[in-house]
Amino acid sequence: MTIKISSLFGNGQHLDGGAMFGHVPKALWSQWLRPDAENHVFLACRALLIEDEQRRILLETGIGAFFSPELKQRYGVTPEQHVLLESLEKLGLSHTDIDVVILSHLHFDHAGGLLSAYEADHKNRLLFPNARYLVSQESFIRAKAPHKRDRASFIPELTHLLEASDRLELIANEHSPTLGENYRFHFSEGHTPGLMLTEINTEHGPLVFAADLIPGIAWLHSPITMGYDRFPEKVVDEKETLLDYLVKQKGRLFYTHDPHIALSNVVRDEKGRFVATETLSEISRVA
């Protein structure tokens, strides 16, 4: 299968650095991502576009611009406009040209870009009108009935909009009938129930969209977890399983939140730690 891949920036966000690095002291994590005066670090919300011989597949949509001005300020969302749509336009595409949207989970910073930009006195509406929306069954159940601890991470009306579209496909195993055998899914429970990581079979080996299991290269070190993770120890175990697989297969990882790195290979260093090599900050229709 011949494919081309592109990294697409969406709207960024600024979150508390301590929350992003869990139990790691600031003296250490601030060497990886520099905080501002309010202890916030900048996080990208990066999507991956796959153009294969049959269709255009978008992995995630980032945070988008659906928040009201008050909530944009609270979560440090910048800039005002829907950046992902502008990134598609730079490739000569519109959201109407996308055939499949794959969502690792439905937290607002991964699925908010499905919605149109905020307009006062107008309800949010779904974008990507010609796409099938692929979501894991377990993560969809969680989004419909979230726990008190993570309720604020979801967009209340999004599940209803997805169901009403008649283009929602809930995924319960590693393959989707829509995508075929060149795509498979890994599932993770440590960050949120049913986190779905897409693996693409490329001529250079497997490429895995790391989502929130490994938000950026700082989290490649397996003991590093986020305060947002529901089961940090499970995250550590799940990361090691995935990274072991990628090292053996000479695979690559795509990072959605890393502010500087979009893609890397993964190897073990002389101490046995997982590290990123052959990093790329941006990809534009690379085979």
Q: Beta strands of the chain (E only): which ranges?
A: 4-9, 13-16, 40-43, 46-51, 56-59, 100-103, 132-136, 168-171, 183-188, 195-202, 205-209, 252-254, 263-268, 274-280
- The residues with which 198 forms a beta bridge, in sequence order, are 185
The answer to whether 154 and 135 are in contact (CB under 8 A) is no
DSSP secondary structure string for all residues of 71-108: HHHHTT-B-SS-HHHHHHHHTT--GGG-SEEEES--BH
Tell me: pLDDT of 158 over 80. yes
pLDDT exceeding 90 applies to what percent of the chain? 94
Per-residue model confidence (pLDDT) at position 54: 86
Half-sphere exposure for 136 (CA within 13 Å, toward CB): 23
Phi-psi region of 72 (alpha: psi -120 to 50; beta: other; left: phi over 0): alpha
Per-residue model confidence (pLDDT) at position 2: 85
Rounded distance between C-alpha atoms, residue 133 and residue 33, angstroms = 33
Per-residue model confidence (pLDDT) at position 39: 97
Residues 6+ apart with CB under 8 A from 239: 213, 214, 219, 220, 222
Rounded distance between C-alpha atoms, residue 105 and residue 120, angstroms = 27
Cβ neighbours of 150 (radius 10 Å): 16
Closest C-alpha among 63, 65, 66 to residue 47: 63
Is 4 exposed, middle or buried, given 0-12, 13-18 or 19+ CB atoms closer than 10 A? middle
Half-sphere exposure for 254 (CA within 13 Å, toward CB): 27
Per-residue model confidence (pLDDT) at position 121: 87
CA distances from 258 to 41, 141, 218 (A): 11, 28, 8
pLDDT tens for each residue of 27-52: 999 999 999 999 999 999 999 999 98
- The residues with which 170 forms a beta bridge, in sequence order, are 135
pLDDT tens for each residue of 69-94: 999 999 999 999 999 999 999 999 99
Q: Give residue 163's identity as a one-letter amino acid code.
A: E
Mean pLDDT, residues 13-17 taken together: 97
Is 169 exposed, middle or buried, given 0-12, 13-18 or 19+ CB atoms closer than 10 A? middle
Three-class DSSP category at 232? helix
Mean pLDDT, residues 117-128 taken together: 93
Q: What is the CATH code for 4-280?
A: 3.60.15.10
Cβ neighbours of 240 (radius 10 Å): 13
pLDDT tens for each residue of 202-211: 989 999 999 9
Tell me: pLDDT of 126 over 90. yes
